[in-house]
Amino acid sequence: MTYRRFRVILAAGAALGLAVATGAFGPVGAEAVTATMCDEALAEIESDGFIGDRFTFCVIGDTRVPGLAEIFPQNLREMNLLDPAFIIDVGDLIPGYTGNVSAINRQWDDFARVCAASQVPLVPVVGNHDVRDWQSRAIYRQRIGPLAFSFSYGNAHFICLDTEEPGHTNNIGPAQLRWLKGDLEAARSAAHIFVFMHKPIWAYDANWLRDVHSLLMKYPVKAVFAGHEHVYRKDVVDDIPCFVTGGGGAEIGSGKGGFYHFMHVSVKGERVNFAVVKTGGVASEEIVTGKTIATGE
Angle, to 10 degrees, between the axis of helix 101-115 and the axis of helix 134-143? 30
pLDDT tens readout for residues 56-87: 999 999 999 876 668 999 999 999 999 999 99
> pLDDT at position 209, please?
87
> pLDDT at position 67, please?
60
Rounded to whole angstroms, how far apart are CA atoms 188 and 163? 23
pLDDT tens readout for residues 20-41: 222 222 233 333 347 899 999 9
* pLDDT classification of 175: cutoffs 50, 70, 90: very high
> pLDDT at position 24, please?
21
Q: Burial letters for 124-156: b for 16+ Cβ neighbours within 10 Å, e otherwise?
A: bbbbbbbbeeeebbbbbbbbbbbbbbbbbbbbb
User: Looking at domain 36-281, which of 1.10.760.10, 1.10.10.10, 3.20.20.140, 3.60.21.10 is its CATH number?
Assistant: 3.60.21.10
Mean pLDDT over residues 181-198, rounded?
Answer: 97
pLDDT tens readout for residues 40-56: 999 999 999 899 999 99
H-run or E-run covering 266: strand 261-268
Q: Is the separation of the CB atoms in 115 and 41 below 8 Å?
A: no
Mean pLDDT over residues 237-253, rounded?
Answer: 95
> pLDDT at position 68, please?
62
Rounded to whole angstroms, how far apart are CA atoms 25 and 109? 9
Q: Is the separation of the CB atoms in 244 and 233 below 8 Å?
A: yes
What share of the chain has pLDDT > 90, as a percent? 77
Question: Does 17 score more than 60 pLDDT?
Answer: no
What does pTM read for this prediction?
0.88
- Give the range among 2-11, 212-221, 269-278 with minimum mean pLDDT: 2-11
Q: Is the separation of the CB atoms in 120 and 80 below 8 Å?
A: yes
> Hey, where are the domains in the chain?
36-281
